[in-house]
Chain A
Amino acid sequence: MALYDALYNQDIEPIMFRHEQGAIHAAEAFARVSGRPAVVAVTSGPGATNIVTGLADAYMDSVPVVAITGQVPTTIFGRDGFQETDILGVVTPITKFAYQVKKAEEAVAAFKTAYEISIIGRPGPTLVDIPRDIQLAAAPDREEKIPVNREKFIPPPPDEDKLRLAAKYLIEARRPVVLVGGGVLWSGATPEVLELSRMLYAPIVSTLPGKAAVPHDYPLYMGPAGMHGRAEADAALANADVILAVGTRFSDRTWGRFKELQENVKNGKVKLIHIDADRSEIGKNVKPTIGVIADAKEALRTLLKFVDASAQRDGKFVTWLLEIRKKYEEVMSKIADSSKAFHPWRVLKVLRRAAPRNTITTTGVGSHQMWAEVAWEVYEPGTFITSAGLGTMGFGVPAALGAKLADPTRPVLCIDGDGSFQMTMNNLALVREYNLPIVVAVFDNRALQLVKQWQIYLYRRRIIATEFGKMPDFMKIAEAYDIEGIKPESYDQLEKAVAKALRNNEALIVDLTIDSEEDIVLPWVKPGDWLTSAILPEGMNTPLTYVEN
């Protein structure tokens, strides 16, 4: 309270979310859109524990947020005082930096340090815990330094010799592939990635966070690979002979499993070049042929110097990948045609037509998110914001609000699940209070569909605790928050309503009736499987192993 009191009549506008989790997800999106750290200030005890999910989310997806938590006075530490929680102990493994201020002289320095560390090198969440007596103490003239080693976060200049060799491998490759992770976005290395891909005639594949870094209308972008990636992306990664992986942590969600890759790198069949700003990522899951610790943009610029002439390459591999893409689109179109209800795949195509190119999209977590991974087209870097590493249901609505706060000039669309939506829809109160007109499209399958899909495939259809019984009326929810609601009956109606709202900067909640039985998101690489064993939609039996002829 003392901290907020100090903000009274100051030039800082607090934005009051209706739940602390909402505030921190909004801060995550704010940071991603603005490129600057965002600050969340919460009370001690339950206020602090309510942001834990968001901190873990930001840690997994490398997002710079700074949390300020209140704390009981130092005099009653450890006495289980009202609303005392050892928040430092709680957030220790999920923060880049966490500090409890124990002297008034440290308060300002602690905040500055937390702010700076959140954004330096690979971004991440930080937390400053301020006990009540420190908050009430008079502001000292003296600032006490917080002893930390910042230098280690600044990536060294790229190693030229390694990159010269990497360039040689890439030029000589038969099937080079560039794998783009979220690090490319933070580093602003999209132009370099595209140029390199063009020069090498190398397809680009991304991770889920990396999806936001590549404009999808670039013809050599194959989409995200992995558990719910695109078939042509899985095929590209699995059949590459040289992989340039940039700003990615080799997640099991991207690779299914590492055995094949590890073996192929070890026996020299695949040359893996890994560029990352975080030293601890090189070799963590897969030992690369060449590992370069550097900022992505700087490293790629250096690499481009060595890839001077366009590589001569036969186009068969890329043609093969593009055929897989074409086949998938054909098959999905047929499947969607045969559906009486809205089909998620087609809904996304329609929404994309309705949304201006610069629309920022956020998602919840579940099948709707995986459909968006596969089918949503990102045109401008940074305009797709999703909870990738932690997979946090409830992320979508507050993230949309945070994105709108960061850039009110852009349309914001939240692609949400009915389960995810119900977790944080209380934050819709901010739409009118702060004039944050967002459009929320709720994929209403009355189920925790992604888990249900796993039950269907992995547990022989033993469906338990994934189907909702009585549902709230989302149109009434919309009305309660003074937002227009629509339950469209056709794709045409959907497109018109969403296009109008996004173009005119109006808030809208769309309730899309989806048949849970038809909502099976494919391709799907089952957990622990290799990319080539992706389950493909019915009617698509293209093998994902490349045969050279």
Chain B
Amino acid sequence: MWRISAILPKSLDGLGRLVAITRRAKVEVLKMTVTTNDMRTYNVVLEIRGEPDEVNWLVAKLDKLPEILSIEQINIGP
């Protein structure tokens, strides 16, 4: 299991672009939360299951979006 956490401007357009890429990843999305703390950005947290290569693919593709201000991935065990 992996957790991907991304910060992007608080816009559903950006969020839509994030989802569009995630749709094409060969991973299973188990949970997705979108929250805002400062009213300017969204913090998107995805919990996913998949091969490490596929998870890396997803993170690399997401990080190509200019609106992804930062992104992190951590292994949260089986």
Contacts and interface: CB of A to CB of B under 8 A. Distances in A.
A97 B57 contact: no
A475 to B, nearest CB: 47
A334 interface: no
A88 B57 CA distance: 24
B53 A149 contact: no
A152 B63 contact: yes
Contacts of B9: 147
Nearest to B67: A148
B70 interface: yes
A150 interface: yes
Contacts of B40: 147
Interface in A135-154: 147-150, 152-153
B20 A147 contact: no
Interface residues of B, number: 22
The residue among B24, B61, B66 with the most chain A CB atoms within 10 A of its own CB is B66
Given A147-B67, A149-B66, A149-B69, A283 B53 contact: yes
Contacts of A97: 65-67
A98 B13 contact: yes
Main secondary structure on B side of the interface with A: mixed
A148 B69 CA distance: 6
B64 interface: yes
B73 to A, nearest CB: 13
Interface residues of A, number: 23
Given A97-B66, A283-B56, A88 B13 contact: yes
A149 B53 CA distance: 24
Given A97-B66, A117-B66, A149-B69, A284 B60 contact: yes
B20 A96 contact: no
A93 interface: yes
B63 A280 contact: yes
B78 interface: no
B55 to A, nearest CB: 12
A150 B57 CA distance: 20
Interface string A339-375: 0000000000000000000000000000000000000
Interface of A: 88-89, 92-93, 96-100, 113, 117, 147-150, 152-153, 278-280, 283-284, 287
A274 to B, nearest CB: 14
B35 to A, nearest CB: 17
A113 B16 CA distance: 19
A147 B65 CA distance: 12
Contacts of A278: 64
B20 A93 contact: yes
A117 B69 CA distance: 14
Nearest to B19: A92
Closest 6 CB pairs of A and B: A280-B60, A148-B66, A147-B9, A92-B20, A93-B20, A97-B66
Interface in B16-67: 16-17, 20-21, 24, 40-41, 53, 56-57, 60-61, 63-67
B63 A96 contact: no
Contacts of A88: 13, 16
B66 A96 contact: yes
Given A92-B17, A149-B69, 11 more contacts: A88-B13, A97-B66, A97-B67, A100-B13, A147-B40, A148-B69, A152-B64, A152-B66, A280-B61, A280-B63, A283-B56
Contacts of B68: 149
Nearest to B40: A147
Nearest to B17: A92
B47 to A, nearest CB: 22
A147 B69 contact: yes
A117 B64 CA distance: 11
A89 B63 contact: no
